[in-house]
């Protein structure tokens, strides 16, 4: 009898301990952050995911990183944002493909008291109070850096004839790509004008400056669809123009398009003291082009930092802490510094 009572008492005690342990565990359950990227098409987003995942481990939050198949799938991304809201996470990080298409979802998140953090391009133009903060490159400033480095290399080529500078931009909707394109255009136009020459910017109504017959033409090509075939065609159209002296690709997609287009031209046109090529971001093809000096160099963001700092901002937001936007920085790299301690960690294959 005494043994039976002892067993019953122990069972009761174990039950109490299990309940208490369970309660203690669930009240401090791991918080979650939904991260919605622009896609997985480019190596850039894989590097962003790496940073976000690392921040999740360091800060003790669960990360769910998703994105559409490609960066033209606006509707698919909006659906992902809405699905994330329905899961009622502690915070959401968004790199919007299209601000207008995302506004309803962003407002819905606010109505559900879910803080939204922007990363990469964020959600520019979103209603005041809907975005907690942003973790992103200062894309305009990064575009200016690309223009400055290109100008230094082509200044001597600007004096003969009426030269053309090509710009391959993936699209005109994304805030990040538009700003690094605009930063490049504004800086290059001002640098050329400082030499006493006039500049015509043509090719797309969003960026054209309305000047015709300039001493130098900056020609912008934006593919009708975001795929490798259309990108290569747009880049090749520029490379086939005999007066082209330089070409800029405003992200990994655009730089890859330039490289593939050049490979399709007999003898090629970039590198070897011919057309000066400057890129943005990295990726295996672009890194190889820089090592082989076909590209003068490229501007790299810090994608790992973008992912990491976005999650860091999410944790601050869910804890009720105040924070400002974070500039995650950019660097210029060439064949001469690509393996340096400063640059190597920022590049992705």
345: which DSSP letter?
G
49's tokens: 């995911």
pTM over the 0.85 mark:
no
Question: 183: helix, coil or strand?
Answer: helix
Number of residues written out for the chain: 349
Question: 235: helix, coil or strand?
Answer: helix
CA distance from start to end of the chain: 72
Question: 310: helix, coil or strand?
Answer: helix
Q: Which residues pair with 277 in a beta bridge?
A: 247
- What is the structure's pLDDT at 59? 98
Give the Cα-Cα-Cα angle 110, 116, 118 (nearest 5 degrees): 140
30-137+302-328: which CATH topology?
Rossmann fold (3.40.50)
- What is the structure's pLDDT at 349? 78
CB 227 within 8 A of CB 69: no
Domain pair 30-137+302-328 / 139-300, same fold:
yes
Dist CA 120 CA 12 (whole Å) = 54
Dist CA 65 CA 159 (whole Å) = 50
CB neighbour list of residue 161: distance below 8 Å, 6 or more residues apart: 243
Strand order of the sheet with strand 216-221? 199-202, 216-221, 164-168, 244-249, 276-280, 297-300, 331-333
59's tokens: 């800060």
CA distances from 146 to 44, 46, 203 (A): 18, 24, 20
Dist CA 272 CA 285 (whole Å) = 17
Give the Cα-Cα-Cα angle 348, 51, 57 (nearest 5 degrees): 140
- What is the structure's pLDDT at 121? 83
The tens digit of pLDDT for each residue in 132-184 reads 999 999 999 999 999 999 999 999 999 889 999 999 999 988 888 999 999 99
Residue stretches of the chain with pLDDT short of 70: 1-28
Question: 76: helix, coil or strand?
Answer: helix
For every residue of 14-67, DSSP letters joined together read: HHHHHHHHHHHHHHTPPEEEEEE-S-SSSHHHHHHHHHHHHHHHHHTEEEEEE-
Dist CA 118 CA 134 (whole Å) = 4
- What is the structure's pLDDT at 70? 83
Helix 284-291 vs helix 252-263: crossing angle, to nearest 10: 60
CATH number of 139-300: 3.40.50.2300
Dist CA 261 CA 232 (whole Å) = 5
For every residue of 115-177, DSSP letters joined together read: -EEEETT--TTPPTTSEEEEEE--HHHHHHHHHHHHHHHHGGGGGSS--EEEEE-S-SS-HHH
270: which DSSP letter?
B
Domain boundaries, given as residue ranges, for the chain: 30-137+302-328, 139-300
């Amino acid at each position: 009898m005494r043994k039976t009572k002892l067993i019953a008492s122990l069972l009761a005690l174990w039950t109490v301990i299990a309940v208490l342990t369970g309660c203690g565990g669930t009240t401090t359950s791991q918080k979650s952050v939904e991260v919605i990227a622009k896609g997985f098409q480019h190596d850039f987003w894989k590097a962003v995911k790496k940073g976000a995942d690392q921040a999740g481990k360091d800060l003790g939050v669960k990360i769910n990183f998703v994105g559409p198949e490609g960066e033209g799938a606006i509707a698919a991304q909006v659906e992902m944002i809405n699905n994330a809201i329905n899961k009622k996470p502690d915070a959401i990080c968004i790199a919007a493909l299209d601000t207008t298409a995302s506004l309803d979802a962003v407002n819905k998140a606010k109505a559900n008291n879910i803080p939204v953090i922007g990363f990469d391009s964020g959600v520019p133009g979103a209603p005041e109070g809907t975005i907690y903060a942003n973790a992103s490159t200062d894309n305009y400033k990064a575009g200016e850096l690309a223009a400055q480095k290109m100008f230094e290399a082509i200044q001597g080529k600007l004096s003969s004839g009426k030269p053309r500078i090509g710009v391959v931009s993936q699209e005109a909707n994304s805030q990040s790509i538009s700003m690094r394109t605009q930063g490049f255009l504004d800086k290059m136009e001002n640098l050329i004008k400082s030499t006493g020459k006039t500049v015509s910017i043509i090719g797309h109504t969003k960026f054209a400056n309305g000047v015709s017959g300039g001493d130098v033409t900056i020609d912008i090509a934006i593919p009708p669809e975001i795929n490798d075939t259309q990108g290569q065609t747009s880049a090749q159209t520029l490379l086939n123009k005999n007066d082209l002296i330089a070409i800029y690709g405003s992200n990994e997609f655009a730089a890859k398009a330039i490289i593939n287009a050049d490979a399709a031209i007999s003898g090629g046109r970039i590198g070897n003291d011919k057309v000066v090529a400057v890129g943005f971001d990295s990726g295996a093809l672009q890194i190889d082009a820089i090592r082989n000096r076909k590209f003068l160099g490229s501007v790299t963001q810090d994608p790992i930092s973008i992912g990491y700092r976005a999650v860091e901002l999410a944790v601050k937001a869910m804890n009720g802490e105040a924070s400002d936007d974070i500039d995650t920085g950019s660097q210029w790299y060439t064949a001469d510094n690509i393996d340096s301690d400063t640059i190597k960690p920022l590049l992705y294959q």
